[in-house]
Amino acid sequence: MPSVLPGFEYDIFISYRQKDNKQDGWVTRFVDHLKGELEATFKEEISVYFDVNPHDGLLETHDVGASLKNKLRCLIFIPVISRTYCDPKSFAWEHEFLAFIEQASKDEFGLKVKLTGGNVASRVLPVRIHDLDAEDKLLLESAMEGVLRPVDFVYNEPGVNRPMTPDDDDKVNLNKIRYRNQVNKVANAIKEILAGMKAELAESEQGSAPIEPAHAEIRREVSRDRNKPAGKLPVRRILAGALILCAIIAAVLFVPKIFSRDKYAKLKDSDGRVSVAVMPFKNLTNDTIWNVWEEGIQNELITDLSNYSELRVKQIEAVKGVIQNRDPAENASFTPSFAGSVSQKLGANLVVYGSIKKAGKTIRINAQLLDAENLEPFKSFQLDGSAEREILPFIDSLKSMVRNFIIISVIKKQQDLEIQKFATTTSAEAYRYFIYGKNAFYKWDLENAKSWLLKALELDPNFSSAAIYLAEAYGNEGNYAEAKKWSLELYNKKDQLPLAEKTMARWLYASFFEPLSESIKYLEQYLQIDDQVPIFYFELGFELQSIEEYPKAILAFEKSLEIYKNWGSAPPWPLSYSILGYCYHQTKQYEKEGQLYAEAEKVFPGNMIMLCYETVLAINLGDTATAKINLDKYITRLKGYSYSEGRLAWKLATVYTLAGQFDKVEQCYRKAFSLEPGNLLFINDLAWFLVDNDRNIDEGMELVEKVLQKAPEVSSGWDTKGWGLYKKGKYKEALSCLEKARDLCQIYSFGIDKHIVEVKKKIGNNL
């Protein structure tokens, strides 16, 4: 039985250790009870995958990847958490629990879902049957990157820790819970998560039309690539300072003799800069608490080196993008050969490769600088420490060593290498919160992202990288007041930031306060720092198409897709294809548009956004048969998301608008309005359509007055009214309305600005 949402194999996947089911069949009975509860909770059938095979997972002769890949394509994952489940060597942990987290993090919903009430929930819904040891709890929370919030089925008496049964007395149980109620809680949680996913899907599709794209929706896609922190130098212990001094002396006295001019010459790109790729530092300690520093050390080195114009440093998302699309077996071992091949894929010549090891209470960080082509080692560094609280001073020392070697020895440029930076934090705990917040942000879990980032800033108010992500999180959820506050705070400190982060601060400020031309300028400047970040080409293309610079936008979008192809991967969202397709359509490159959609179908099969654009293309090409098939599919899918008839008509108006069939557009808008006469969105859209297309300006003006009477704060309403007055020749009144629209709009609007320019021209000509 398929999932309630298209494109998924099951609604629920239940994962467990067979050890927890052998004695009394607890898991099997729980699944039976849950299925009965789901039948009483949902009108539709909810599909559940539960493997009753007595073996612990699939047999060794089975192809695990092929067998589980489709089954794990589910909406909700329920692990039965026990004292035996939290075992990194077990099948359930590795091939089900971790595999689902990785797979769900990359699908259209992400691992966290925004619920209809505004809260956020994980698609991993743990059912706990034992109180856990501290290390097991830490292992779980590290894998989930959040606090463990299970539905408990634990029976506790003094000296007792076992799964609860239906016959247990809740008055005797120290946890004071009843089995029947807990099963009901699981079913209700499932219902809440599924409702949130349906709402999120419907909301994302409402914003799919590129004529007036929702700024927040587009912003959330491009903001997954951010430069990482660099900053002011922390107060160091004497040991750390000594290490830095030794590194400088060693670099000045000895390295030039080792590193010849010929070796340096082959590392240079055509423009004379050295391309550097920093790999994640492999955690070899067998202690998951150090997992966060795999990326943390990489992050710090990238930001530090990005401050030097002589280097072209590959940013962390570019490195991750290539690694994630390589052979998992190679990724797991992460040999120098693998690091070299990743670097060559990125076009980097110099590789920074390292590891974290532990012996007793001593932590050792190793780093090597390698030639990406032949893996020739240029320099090795080693630092020892005794506790996690000392990690940041040691990372500072490592940064200094690597930086000194490259700048003094490779680039041969003497300068003040210990310039004051701004973004590095002296708090290991703040840095941990930052990593959690950044990862939550990339998964579109904005509530948790904000929570983690605010915690980081509470511990260190000068942690500018955390502030950048926080501004983006607020902006993506539409809270522009907070987003602007953090953006302005960063902008005021821009001169204290390193080069890449300074450019980001300027772009962030421009995106909220200035015309798109300024935003475009800073995006282009950033791409001069690193020209291998596809997300920033996408953002550049989006800004260019917003001001109708379609040929330039096409070049940027195509470059973004080209980089993904060079990585051997595909973009993570359909907008990379749909908006490029829209630009092809606007420039009448229909053949390219069709080829692009065929390519997109392989990456995002059955995607609603792409289905909309394919329908429009078929209509414009006169392919009525294909257009009808696609349109019927589109309508069927919309009905499957519980769209009202009015909302369905409103969505179809978007399709016909893109296709230029204005008679059908008007029919759809009027139908939506007649079915829901109090819906201000429908009224405003109909009013705008009638005014902008000269269909019935007077009626449009009457309609928009109804909108402004009930919602005078709606910027688009004043824009419609101002544009209508302009068309009626009332230019001064029009200008007043349009300026009000501009003032009410929380972000820069190219459309409103364009209207104001047109009105001012008329006023000037009539003076």
Residue range(s) of every CATH 3.40.50.10610 domain in the chain: 238-419
Q: Which residues contact 497 (CB under 8 A, 6 or more apart)?
A: 230, 231, 421, 422, 423, 464, 490, 505
Handedness of CA 628, 633, 634, 640 (dihedral sign): positive
Residue with tokens 């909302």: 647
Both tokens assigned to 181: 């109620």
Establish how many alpha carbons lie within 13 A of residue 327's alpha carbon, considering only the half-sphere containing its beta carbon.
9
What is the DSSP track for 594-659? HHHHHHHHHHSTT-HHHHHHHHHHHHHTT-HHHHHHHHHHHHHHHHHTT--HHHHHHHHHHHHHHH
For the chain (length 767 residues), average pLDDT per consecutive 10?
75 90 88 92 88 53 53 90 83 85 75 75 91 76 73 88 86 85 93 84 46 28 27 27 29 34 60 83 85 88 79 84 73 76 86 85 85 81 71 80 70 39 58 78 78 88 83 83 88 81 85 86 87 84 90 95 82 84 93 93 82 91 91 82 83 90 94 91 92 94 92 89 94 93 83 90 77
Alpha-carbon span 491 to 103, nearest angstrom: 37
Q: Which residues contact 433 (CB under 8 A, 6 or more apart)?
A: 452, 453, 455, 456, 459, 466
CA distances from 162 to 133, 149, 165, 186, 751 (A): 14, 18, 9, 19, 63
Q: Which residues contact 72 (CB under 8 A, 6 or more apart)?
A: 9, 13, 96, 99, 100, 103
DSSP H or E run through 269: none
Alpha-carbon span 696 to 720, nearest angstrom: 13
Rounded to 10°, the helix 608-620/590-603 angle is: 160
Alpha-carbon span 551 to 562, nearest angstrom: 16
User: Would you identify the CATH topology of the domain 238-419?
Assistant: Rossmann fold (3.40.50)
Give ∠ CA 609-614-619 in degrees, rounded to 5: 130
Alpha-carbon span 560 to 578, nearest angstrom: 13
Residue range(s) of every CATH 1.25.40.10 domain in the chain: 678-767
Predicted pLDDT of residue 561: 93
Residue range(s) of every CATH 3.40.50.10140 domain in the chain: 10-201
User: Among 79, 96, 114, 198, which Cα is nearest to 440's?
Assistant: 114
Q: Which residues contact 1 (CB under 8 A, 6 or more apart)?
A: 45, 47
Both tokens assigned to 531: 């020209």
Predicted pLDDT of residue 389: 59
Predicted pLDDT of residue 685: 92
CA distances from 441 to 146, 435, 436, 472, 474 (A): 13, 10, 9, 9, 10
Predicted pLDDT of residue 520: 92
Q: Are 650 and 670 in contact (CB under 8 A)?
A: no
Q: 56 phi and psi, to 5 degrees?
A: -80, 85
CATH class of the structural domain 10-201: alpha beta
3-state secondary structure of 309: coil
DSSP state of 496: G
CATH class of the structural domain 216-231+424-525: mainly alpha
Predicted pLDDT of residue 205: 45
Q: Which amino acid is at 327?
A: D
Predicted pLDDT of residue 141: 72
Q: Which amino acid is at 720?
A: T
**Architecture of the domain made up of 678-767:** Alpha Horseshoe (1.25)
Overall pTM surpassing 0.75 (yes/no): no
Alpha-carbon span 321 to 486, nearest angstrom: 28
Q: Which residues contact 610 (CB under 8 A, 6 or more apart)?
A: 574, 577, 578, 597, 600, 601, 604
Rounded to 10°, the helix 316-323/534-546 angle is: 110
User: Among 752, 699, 394, 402, which Cα is nearest to 546's?
Assistant: 752
